[in-house]
Amino acid sequence: MLKIIVNARKLLPWAVGAFIIVFLIGAGFTSASTPFPPLGKARSHALAEDGKLGNIQNATLGFEKIFVISLPSRSDHRDAVVLASHLTCLAVDIVDGITHVDDKAQPPGAEKFTTTGALGAWRAHMNTLQTIVKHNTTSALIMEDDTDWDIRIKSQMQNFARASRLLLQPISGTAATYLDPTILHPEEALIQGAQTFDIAHSAVPQATSSPYGDVHRWDLLWLGHCGASLPRAENHLPLGRVSISADETVPEKQHIDPQLGDQQLIQQYSDHTRVVSRAYMNTCSLAYAVSLQGARRILYELAIRKIDKAMDLSLQDMCDGVNDRPGLTCLSVLPQLFQQHRPIARESSFSDIDKRQDGADMAEEKYNNIAFSRNIRWSTRGNLRQLVYGDTNYTDLFPDGMPKPDLVG
């Protein structure tokens, strides 16, 4: 059993103080240093340190960068994402969203897109991947600007990393023996079915180039989605799962909304359990981390080779290794760590891809009266008031022992 979640209520005033200091020092450093120092002794030495779990406490969650894709016109989204990142000690780089893609610039298949919004969203993700490749960025987290996370995201991501290492790294002291036998022997999957390993498993392997597992061992970590499934033997993916049990940041089952995913988490695991596995049938590109290798592969496949369906479904094909896409190594987590936030607003304001139909009567449109993010207990967006004023009585929309609240949208 694991209980390493710290009591954030007690720690927060300290965290805020520490953050102000780190922020001031950080501001001094960034203006003085070049963003991409030449590779030298200092950098290669630093590389060996990059795998430390403690780095996840840094302003980029142990990745080299965090990018947030945001349309310049959605100033409301920008205000909220900048404030939410700042209050949880995350440093984000904003990437402009795209509303128009020249016909001549569209790769094969793009004629299948029916909305300019979906094509623009694809392009904004490709621009971000292009930046990662251009700057040789080792790993980066890419988020959309309506994404939310728990106030305790850093301890959650440390647990995720302990789980992802168990699925990606060879067992300590071996070169190529894995905890999950189905990584090397997929035929084992049909005999054994899916095995679940506890996050506290003793074979904890070290990683060197990233706290989440060496960057050459993974392409994508699908941390924010609107539904995913746990792979089954017939999906031809490694089946190993790692469970993070007694995680108080996971709501009780009655509150869990699988959205477009399957029911296995609810059916097979106890309350307050989070499960990390290979990604399967993930939808929505709300938040995902890529290694440089992953960024190169996605940029090649989706920007140059072809794009014939929405960006997230194309990524899903790559992670699942289906529909004429070679498989990537993608991990996912249920329930997700990043989620779409639904603020108090008109429902049509939620999406830039699906526009409100012209002529629809604004007065008849549904209005969302409760700010929420499915499956996220101490939502950062839902607690901006508390965080700004230093009130530690956080809103938890999904308290234990209570029925699921009635949410729209």
Ligand X SMILES: *[C@@H]1O[C@H](CO)[C@@H](O)[C@H](O)[C@H]1NC(C)=O
Q: Which residues bind ligand X (CB under 6 A)?
A: 39, 50, 55, 58-60, 62, 64, 91, 136, 211, 393
Looking at beta carbons only, is 265 or 387 nearer to ligand X? 387
Residue nearest to ligand X (CB): 55
Looking at beta carbons only, is 128 or 158 nearer to ligand X? 158
Give me the residues paired with residue 150 across strands. 379
**Smallest distance from ligand X to CB 29, Å:** 9
Residue 83 burial class via C-beta count within 10 angstroms: exposed 0-12, middle 13-18, buried 19 and up: middle
Looking at beta carbons only, is 60 or 348 nearer to ligand X? 60
Looking at beta carbons only, is 82 or 353 nearer to ligand X? 82
**Smallest distance from ligand X to CB 48, Å:** 11
**Smallest distance from ligand X to CB 401, Å:** 15
147-149 and 338-340 as β-strands: parallel, antiparallel, unpaired?
Answer: antiparallel
Looking at beta carbons only, is 95 or 189 nearer to ligand X? 95
238/187 Cα distance (integer angstroms): 10
**Smallest distance from ligand X to CB 289, Å:** 12
DSSP secondary-structure letter at 148? E
The angle subtended at Cα 98 by Cα 350 and Cα 259, nearest 5°, is 35
The angle subtended at Cα 231 by Cα 242 and Cα 321, nearest 5°, is 120
**Smallest distance from ligand X to CB 402, Å:** 13
Looking at beta carbons only, is 2 or 59 nearer to ligand X? 59
**Smallest distance from ligand X to CB 55, Å:** 3
**Residue 221 CA: distances (Å) to CA of 76, 333, 336, 339, 354:** 28, 9, 11, 14, 26
Residue 333 phi/psi, 5° resolution? -140, 140
